[in-house]
Structure 1
């Protein structure tokens, strides 16, 4: 009986020990599972949360500026054709004048005497011609009556021809004298504005001396230079438009598109103070040859100038727009540079930061222009100074409208 009780006690003790061991193992497993879960959560929480932007292709209008040489539509140097003293000055500097309006009066006494002398010689030649003509008529009657020989008539005819040639010579001398006299009164060659007048009343001027300049600034020309590559791009575009027009004339369905193609591009002028000129210009023509050494060619734009704001020799910049299609805008704040390369961080498939280099094609406000990406690439916008290549991050999507805003206000670029 004692042995039975002892055996039962031993079995109860073993079962108690097994139960305690089971509880210990279960608690250990449960603790390990909880620890693993907490570790995973801690890792997730330790990831740096950064804003990211999903890239998409877009089309923008890039303003391009070129340094322009502004010139008046007409600019003429008024010079003296003769030597003489300045007797009168009829205009003042900066005055608006009309065509053929007198500007200066040079001493004319000498040229007036030359006109009188030439007039007297012409009158003498005409008198001699009249006498020679009467002599020829008289001799004709006498020769017909066989009173004089025909040789006498021929001699008289020769004298008449000499008298007539003397008239022609005298008329030419009188014309030259009158022309010289007209040079003493210097007139405006066209409607315009008088420039500086270096010679004052009483000054002696020689033939060829500059008296003033006359400028017509009702319209002005702005000349700017482009490279050979830009010229080729521009000319190919014009050729494509001409071909399009030819096809449109053969197809009535394209009549509306043809009308749109014929609309001319508006070109603006940026003045030296940074303000935009209120009138737009029209591209008219270009030079015939490329400039040696620089390989550039000049184009001419005509601008109206009704208020006379622009002056000959002023400075400014011609600005026009160029469309760029299928490009990506990369915020500059998301980039950093090492030597000659520009880098950004892209978000990898496992939400890891991946460093990436690219070469911008230009700038558009606070953005770089590039075509070296794919639609859907995610760019890290901020916190790049805390990242390393391959580090795990927690991306937070940012809308395109929040990043780009109104692109029209960011178009101040140095493309």
Structure 2
């Protein structure tokens, strides 16, 4: 009897425990469902607040160096080359002797011209004496007017002969001076094409030597004509400020990637567009005191076109492309929701895009976390300070 009672009590206790567990499970199920339907945490992104500021606008153009002045030295008289006064490759000054042509024939020509002048001067003196005497006799009517006129005509002819003889003497002296060939400019000599003992002729096609002035030096750059026109429009409209409308500062990047230490200045742009390339030549001049730049070197020039305060800088990594190929960026609005903006980006400045439309000052552009967001997503924006322009 007691055994049955114990079994019944155990069954009731087990049933009660199972009911409690079932009740507890029913209470936990709504809690788990509520937890599963809770809103996800906002995605964290890094944003940059864009602001208008003065931004230097630069462009990089390819080009080659060209000599500031180059003089091909040719003889102006013919003769036997007797001596060379310079070493190839050395620096020379304007007026410094380079070659000596045999002067003997030209010295003789000077002496002949001097003798001819002396003879004509003697004739002039005799004609002047005869004319003076006949003028006195004519006043006393002891000489005819015809004789006086003939005497005065002979005097004028003698005077003209004197002028001609003096010019011939001066020409002979100039030719004698040309026997010493001098440098027309300051510069550095190249290879000599003749040696002493060679016979040269006046104004021959082959230069004796070329003298090149290297300081300063020109750099001829190539720029698309469309870009040049846009620059001029920007300067005229005030979108681009420049100290001078025609001059801009330029800096050189050499072939090895190093920067040339001396800044230069843009002088002018050609007025003729190359039909084959659609570009114009822009000439800049650079100081070259160490003669580091040599004619014919390939360089790149960074031209400082001016300063603009009407555009915004956006990091290049923040600018994506739409399916149509248009530049776009994600912007976080005041409610923390992502929006898409189509941009107008005119040029790259360093690691940034210069944006002229599509953004407003104060917009927060997403620069990190782009892969995790979409339009309409709610995000947590972490601000990053703006970097200096062009970095």
Name the TM tier (shorter chain): 0.7 to 0.9
- Aligned counterparts of 1:346 and 1:235: Cα–Cα separation in 2: 33
Give the counterpart of 2:178 among 177, 183, 207: 183
In the alignment, is the contact (CA less than 8 A) between 1:99 and 1:189 conserved in 2? yes
Which residue number in structure 1 is paired with residue 384 of structure 2?
400
Point out the structure with the larger helix share. 1
Instruction: Give the SS at the match of 1:398.
Output: strand
Taking a change above 3 Å as real, the CA distance of residues 25 and 199 of structure 1, as seen in their structure-2 partners, is same
Taking a change above 3 Å as real, the CA distance of residues 237 and 342 of structure 1, as seen in their structure-2 partners, is closer
Give the counterpart of 2:40 among 41, 44, 63: 44
Taking a change above 3 Å as real, the CA distance of residues 55 and 331 of structure 1, as seen in their structure-2 partners, is farther
Which residue number in structure 2 is paired with residue 98 of structure 1?
93
Taking a change above 3 Å as real, the CA distance of residues 126 and 332 of structure 1, as seen in their structure-2 partners, is same
How far is 1:124 from its partner? 1.4
- Aligned counterparts of 1:144 and 1:365: Cα–Cα separation in 2: 98
Taking a change above 3 Å as real, the CA distance of residues 328 and 147 of structure 1, as seen in their structure-2 partners, is closer
Which residues in structure 2 correspond to 1:338-357 (within 5 Å)?
340=325
In the alignment, is the contact (CA less than 8 A) between 1:50 and 1:380 conserved in 2? no
Q: Structure 1: 5+ residue runs without aligned partners?
A: 1-21, 245-259
How far is 1:297 from its partner? 4.5
Which residue number in structure 2 is paired with residue 269 of structure 1?
252
In the alignment, is the contact (CA less than 8 A) between 1:74 and 1:216 conserved in 2? yes
Which residue number in structure 2 is paired with residue 326 of structure 1?
311
How far is 1:102 from its partner? 1.0
Count how many residue pairs are aligned between Structure 1 and Structure 2. Answer: 364
How far is 1:313 from its partner? 3.7
Instruction: Give the SS at the match of 2:167.
Output: helix
RMSD: 4.2
Instruction: Give the SS at the match of 1:272.
Output: coil
- Aligned counterparts of 1:205 and 1:365: Cα–Cα separation in 2: 58
- Aligned counterparts of 1:58 and 1:166: Cα–Cα separation in 2: 83
- Aligned counterparts of 1:55 and 1:32: Cα–Cα separation in 2: 46
Taking a change above 3 Å as real, the CA distance of residues 398 and 366 of structure 1, as seen in their structure-2 partners, is farther
Instruction: Give the SS at the match of 2:151.
Output: helix
Instruction: Give the SS at the match of 2:115.
Output: helix
Which residue number in structure 1 is paired with residue 157 of structure 2?
162
Which residue number in structure 2 is paired with residue 303 of structure 1?
286
Q: Structure 2: 5+ residue runs without aligned partners?
A: 1-18
In the alignment, is the contact (CA less than 8 A) between 1:52 and 1:395 conserved in 2? no
Which residue number in structure 2 is paired with residue 221 of structure 1?
218
Instruction: Give the SS at the match of 1:291.
Output: coil
